Amino acid sequence: MGIFVLIIVIGIAGYIVQARLQSVFAKYSKVRFPGGLTGAEVAEKMLRDNNIHNVRVTHVKGHLTDHFDPRNMTVNLSESVYSSDSVAAAAVAAHECGHAIQHARDYAPLRLRSQLVPVVTFSSKAAMITIIVGLLIMAATNNELVCWIGVGLIAMSALFSIVTLPVEYNASARALEWLESSRTMQGAQLAQAKEALSWAARTYLVAAVSAIASVLYYVFLILGRRR
């Protein structure tokens, strides 16, 4: 019963954090960036200041779909960030450039996360069917091996979420450090950018806790079937 309550609490927390992120982003999307730079211009300036010249800044469709892609060395900014001169756009653009700097500096957690991508892609597809087959085998033969293999596959997604935490928090820290040291943003606007990035980081924290709870759910499920 306890694990079910935990999952419900995490689900509610995730909804609250996501709603708050959307609210904060909408609020600071209306606050004009004092320097007048667009998200794209902020990104290009941050990359230049960090001597990164092999990364292109481009735009992608969607809302808050911003990301750095190391495969083609691009910082991809969403439509609401690329051409906007708001505080929120500057913060998001700087955060994504933080990932580009991590890649250029060979930041260990980012390298580990990249190495986990193909493993997690496979495990996320195979985990549920493995668990279901394992439970059927366990019901018929009391053999738990396949079930535990399924739990191991689910645990890979949890590991990925945990590794993602330092990657995202560090990217935000790099973004805020540059925004302040370059005098691109100061005072109230810097505090607003920090608030926006803090709520974005919390979505990853909730995702990590949720992934851990999923692993615990299946562990207790298997142990319960054993009894």
State the sign of the Cα–Cα–Cα–Cα dihedral 206, 120, 146, 137. positive
**What whole-number distance in Å separates Cα of residue 138 and Cα of residue 134?**
6
Residues classed as catalytic: 96
Residue 25 — φ and ψ, nearest 5°? -65, -45
Q: Which residues contact 21 (CB under 8 A, 6 or more apart)?
A: 196, 199, 200, 202, 203
Total domain count for the chain?
Answer: 1
Q: What pLDDT digit, counting tens, does each position of 22-50 carry? A: 888 889 888 887 778 999 999 999 999 99
Q: What pLDDT digit, counting tens, does each position of 99-121 carry? A: 999 999 999 999 999 999 999 99
Residue 59 — φ and ψ, nearest 5°? -125, 150
**What whole-number distance in Å separates Cα of residue 208 and Cα of residue 205?**
5
Low-confidence ranges of the chain (pLDDT < 50): none
pTM score above 0.85: yes
Residues spanned by the domain of 9: 2-226
How much is the pLDDT for 163? 96
